[in-house]
Structure 1
């Protein structure tokens, strides 16, 4: 599969972080960055971060024909990720000023969603959400407050936030299958925190489905 500019930038960010943590020397960083921007395919990019903690698989695992057929035949098979895309947005933002705000359950995420927490907390639960466009952007600003974003496994998350005397952490590290929605999270945490995390399996229901909890 051909590599995109976003794929190259993702790998470059991982390499720069590794150098800042002392995992790579400046010379090694320069050598790998040369390979990043010369790479044409995901197969050329993937090995460049494989020995680093922040490595994310870029090539989705192949599904064999029997497995694919079994999934299609099973009435309890999970919905294809592409079914999350489309429909109307039901909320364009969440603001918490010395209070709390929450978006959870079935809800529609617009192409651009803004979350602001000032001395307060915002919780965004995307496990049952649908997305108005294939790629959505969540701008999260936490000032002496906190924003928590809970994501399912069938999406791809790209995090570009900045923490100043605070934390802007992607603890989910999810890379969805081909066609999955892409969630870009950017913004600022100043004396506060923005945290992206996965939903956890909770229990198997009577019909065989797995429910999720944060």
Structure 2
């Protein structure tokens, strides 16, 4: 058996559950289909078992932002997408989620920063995980208080920082 192909991560399962829940919220699944697919997703033991559960559902759209030398800044009352990818070669990134409109229980932020750095400010009660961020000469400073809470916002951060620094903290308000 090919163990690499059969391996199922918590992230795979979480993604499948979120796709099913979004399809229900969008009216593409009825309550019985929602219940059936969620049960199958939560009891799946391999990545192959997830494919028929979500194979007919569209993936969450990724919003892409980029900069070569400028800044990427989002603050105040901005609409946060479910998935956000930011590419910046020399610029800085500042994402302030503390007053933003967030419609999803989990958001994924993918950062590809070569020389620039970034700051992500979480709203009160939110949790985050930056274990998926790879660093070269860069660093990740992780300051959020508390663990993931059922029903609370969770921010999953992935990507790569070659030389920059990423700071993740809670809002000071």
Bucket of the pairwise TM-score, normalised by the shorter protein: 0.5 to 0.7
- 1:142 partnered with 2:113: yes
For the residue of structure 2 that corresponds to 1:144, the secondary structure is: coil
Report the counterpart of residue 39 of structure 1 in structure 2.
none
Note if 1:92 corresponds to 2:63. Answer: yes
Tell me which of 87, 92, 96 is aligned to 1:125.
96
Q: Secondary structure at the match of 2:121?
A: strand
- The equivalent of 1:163 in structure 2 is 135
Cα deviation for residue 118 of structure 1 reads: 1.2
Aligned residues of 2:127 and 2:144 also touching (Cα < 8 A): no
CA-CA distance at 1:147 after TM superposition: 1.4
2:150 is equivalent to residue 178 of structure 1: yes
- Please give the alpha-carbon distance, in whole angstroms, between the structure 2 residues aligned to 1:152 and 1:137: 15
From 81, 85, 88, give the equivalent of 1:110. 81
Could you tell me which residue of structure 2 aligns to residue 199 of structure 1?
171
Inter-partner Cα distance in structure 1 for 2:155 and 2:83: 10
1:188 paired residue number: 160
Residue aligned with 1:92, SS: strand
- Counterpart Cα distance in 1 of 2:160 and 2:110: 8
Normalising by structure 1, report the TM-score: 0.48
Q: Which residue of 2 aligns with 1:153?
A: 124
How far does residue 116 in structure 1 lie from its aligned partner after superposition? Answer: 2.0
Contact 1:153/1:175 (8 A) holds in 2 = no
Task: Give ranges in structure 1 of 5+ residues lacking alignment.
Answer: 7-90, 201-211
Partner SS, residue 129 of structure 2: strand
How many residues are matched? 114
Equivalent residues of 2:110, 2:159 under 8 A apart = yes
Listed one character per residue, the Cα deviations across residues 97-132 of structure 1 (whole Å, up to 9, x for unaligned) are 111121011112111101222111111000012323
**SS in structure 2 at match of 1:145:** coil
State TM-score, norm by structure 2.
Answer: 0.59
Partners of 2:162 and 2:76 lie apart in 1 by: 29
Q: CA deviation at 1:5?
A: 4.2
**Which structure is larger by alpha-carbon Rg, 1 or 2?**
1
